Structure 1
Amino acid sequence: MEYNNNLNRTLAKLQSFPAFIRGFMRDFAIGRFVKFVGTAGIHFEKMTCNEVAVTLPNRNKVQNHIGQIHAAATTLLAETASGMVVGMNIPDDKLPLMKNLSVKFIKRSQGQQRAVAILTDEQIKQIRETDKGEVNVTVKVTDETEEEVVITEMIWAWILKKK
């Protein structure tokens, strides 16, 4: 993995922890930085420059009135996966910004949900090498039956940070 930014460097430091605690420490570190993610209890299953996979258990604190994961929590899960895959690639001198978020609910979910966000090599190159731009991040959200529960469009932009 290329350590091109603070997120990559922080995750690399966690590799020195014993394997049994690494996932907890990753979830804890990201949850402290992005507090809403920590509050919801999102688990970071996989984090690479090309793919981020996150899961959200169906627990009381994220449920709606019928005992399923709330629509806002599903949206948070998809947004988190897409934002983190952009975050794995964006240089420290750039600021990521959500430009458009669209979520179409297509099926009632059952149990835990999983979101997987993917960037192509071309998209990664664009994020790393251009000062300003935008990218449409592919995100697939499934439930415990492994069926897709929403169709998403997540467009992330970036700009140079002001000095």
Structure 2
Amino acid sequence: MSTILNLWTKANLVPFGNKAFSLAFSQKAPYFATIRPTFTELRPNYAELVIPKRRAVHNHIGTVHAIALCNGLEAAMGALAEVTIPSDKRWIPKGMDISYTAKATSDITCIAETDQAQWDGDDPDLHVRVKGVRDDGTVVIEGVIKLWVTPKPARS
């Protein structure tokens, strides 16, 4: 079991454990903290978190800013990658293809998904499916985050 998945599992044994996990995960890449994500589900090939709609992430029309949405998608993707990747491989993001499909007028649930076959194959290009969903079920952002997955170098 990956370190991140182990922490998630242990955190969820106590009240508000997902909040503590989310805060700790946000320190991994400090810009994640700017959106105050709360993870709600994390398992191999799936990650889900919520970005609260608050003034600090608003754009000029009072909806959740596009870059805050991308930040949430990237946090979900990063957690998914950490709990899914085989131990002999490493990953790095190499791009995003995103479409903004509706106004982000509520808290946003960010979801990242893959299939295990993507990780088990030899193709280094791996596309993580991502989307952000409003409280009413409307998808406000969707696309893929492209990863470069390669074998870990041999230790010397």
Q: TM-score range by the shorter chain?
A: 0.7 to 0.9
Q: Residue in 2 aligned with 1:156?
A: 147
When the two chains are superposed, the root-mean-square deviation of aligned CA atoms in Å is 2.0
Do the aligned residues in 1 keep the contact of 2:35 with 2:52 (CA within 8 Å)? no
Structure-2 residue corresponding to 1:45: 40
Normalised by the size of structure 1, how large is the TM-score?
Answer: 0.83
**Corresponding residue for 1:112?**
107
SS in 1 for 2:16: helix
The answer for the alignment partner of 2:126 in structure 1 is 135
User: Partner residue of 2:96?
Assistant: 101
Q: Deviations over 1:63-83 (max 9, x none)?
A: 111111111001111222222
Shift of 1:50: 2.3
Structure 1 residue 92: deviation in Å?
4.8
Give aligned-pair identity as a percent. Answer: 19
Unaligned runs of 5+ in 1: none
Letter aligned with residue 82 of structure 1:
M
The equivalent of 2:17 in structure 1 is 22
C-alpha separation between the residues in 2 aligned to 1:91 and 1:50? 12
Among 22, 29, 41, the residue aligned to 1:34: 29
CA contact (8 A) 1:110 1:145 kept: no
- Mapping for residues 8-19 of structure 1, pairs under 5 Å: 8-15=5-12, 17-18=13-14
Report how many aligned residue pairs link the two structures: 154
Distance 2:16 2:140 in 1: 31
AA aligned opposite 1:117: A
Q: Against the structure 1 CA distance between its residues 24 and 151, is the aligned structure 2 distance closer, same or farther, given a 3 Å change threshold?
A: closer
Q: Using the alignment, how far apart are the partners of 1:73 and 1:153 within structure 2?
A: 16
Tell me the residue number matched to 2:137.
Answer: 146
Structure 2, unmatched stretches of 5+, are none
What is the CA-CA distance between 1:55 and the residue it aligns to? 0.9
Task: Give the direction of change, closer, same or farther, for the CA distance of 1:51–1:93 in structure 2 (3 Å limit).
Answer: same
Q: Secondary structure at the match of 1:88?
A: helix
